[in-house]
Amino acid sequence: MVEKENSFLIFSTADWDAPYWTNKQHTATHLARMGFRVLYVESLGLRAPTLNRTDLKRIGVRLKKAFSPLKQRAQNVLVFSPLVIPFKHHWKITRTINERILTWQLNRFIKQLGFKNTIVWTYHPFIMELLDRVAHDKLVYHCVDDLTAVPGIDKIAFDKEEAALLMRCDAVFTTSETLRAHCATKNSNAHYFPNVADITHFGKAREAGDIPSDLSCIPSPRIGYVGELSDYKIDFSLILSIAKKKPEWHWVFIGDERAGQESILVRELRECPNVHFLGHRSYKVLPDYLRGFSVATLPTLLNTYTRAMFPMKYFEYLAAGLPIVSTPLAFTEQHQAGMVVAATAVYFSKAIQQQIDRGRLTDFEAEDGIKDNTWDARLTKMLRILDRL
């Protein structure tokens, strides 16, 4: 049984204080709120760093954090920043050095913290060398993205390690049916659980309140997007085409560009008078910004990476009461509440107009669309699967 005596050792692909929280931080936080103790291990560096300013800054921050004690970032959550060689994972010498450093540190922390019946919950496969040396009760692979499609990832090394991990896992959880089918070829105990949202937090956007001044000064209708502005995930060409043809619509982007990105299309969008880049805004204030949107969008490029995506923003937008327009990702075949799907700029534009005309969702529509797609409900289902093992 998964009981409060169990502790969780989470191997993440994201640092705890990354500007855009994903499955990893939310899962750790909600497990902790359920009463479990969590040791959150920050990213080991899945892609090789370059010499650009962003990567060099991240290396400097990691060096500083690596020589600091464990940080308590939330109740029952401790965060560990490992110092490892972040490239050439397929080299034996790299794996050996990293494994020895990590094994020593993790075993020391586990003993120091008094962790018992530890459940290893990983978001990447580069932990195989650790599993025989770090005591654990169960092993879970939470596959939330096709990481081999991310620029800079060593696909050969990743595929090899993932195959070994899948064959060893007690349970596998995925955020799309595509990922579940992929994982099920190596592990029959693979389960599909879509992304979910913090309903209480984003539901604040349906309450009466102020709209931030940097948004309220932008004319309506406001067509919004929240998240990292990655050129391999967002169809900027589609947006640019619509923005030029519909100057009365104002596009609002909340988020920064992907590190190291140099997109010509984004530069051209910045020159459009009806396109507004507000930059990153904290998670805490996002409901205030969503309160001021007319329509929320998921203008996702259709490619190898996005084919397996289930955007967390879908349920966040729904919780905020926003009508949504999305490109035809696989998840839209099963989830359509509050959403119109369109593949081309012409039809995407028509869909936006349709959603503007229909207006914001009622409380009933928002809550009916969300149903039990909350963090606590999803984690409870996952833990029940572990109970049955």
For the chain, 389 residues long, give each residue's pLDDT as a single digit of tens.
676 688 999 999 999 988 888 999 999 999 999 999 999 999 876 545 454 555 445 545 545 555 556 888 888 999 998 876 666 555 667 767 778 888 888 998 999 899 989 999 999 998 988 898 998 999 999 999 888 888 778 889 899 999 999 999 999 999 999 999 999 999 999 999 999 999 999 999 999 999 999 999 999 999 999 999 999 899 999 999 999 999 999 999 999 998 778 889 999 999 999 999 999 999 999 999 999 999 999 999 999 888 878 999 999 999 999 999 999 998 999 889 999 999 999 999 999 999 999 999 999 999 999 999 999 999 999 999 999 88
Cβ atoms of 176 and 192 within 8 Å: the answer is yes
pLDDT at residue 77, rounded to an integer: 95
Given this model, what pLDDT does residue 49 score? 46
Retrieve residue 142's tokens: 């939470």
Q: How many CA atoms lie within 13 A of 23 on its CB side?
A: 26
- Helix residue spans in the chain (DSSP H): 23-33, 53-66, 92-113, 155-168, 177-184, 199-202, 213-216, 236-245, 264-270, 286-290, 313-319, 345-358, 363-370, 375-387
Rounded Cα–Cα distance for residues 340 and 323 (Å): 8
- Helix, strand or coil, per DSSP, at residue 189: coil
pTM of the model: 0.86
Residue type present at position 39? L
Q: Which long-range contacts (CB under 8 A, 24 or more apart) does 378-385 make?
A: 378/193, 378/196, 379/27, 379/30, 379/31, 379/34, 381/193, 382/140, 382/171, 382/173, 382/191, 382/193, 383/2, 385/171, 385/189, 385/191
Tens of pLDDT along 94-151? 767 778 888 888 998 999 899 989 999 999 998 988 898 998 999 999 999 888 888 7
Residue 53 has a pLDDT of 58
**pLDDT of res. 157:** 85
Predicted pLDDT at 45 = 65
Q: What pLDDT sits at residue 56?
A: 47
Domains defined along the chain, listed by start: 6-196+374-387 (3.40.50.2000), 199-370 (3.40.50.2000)
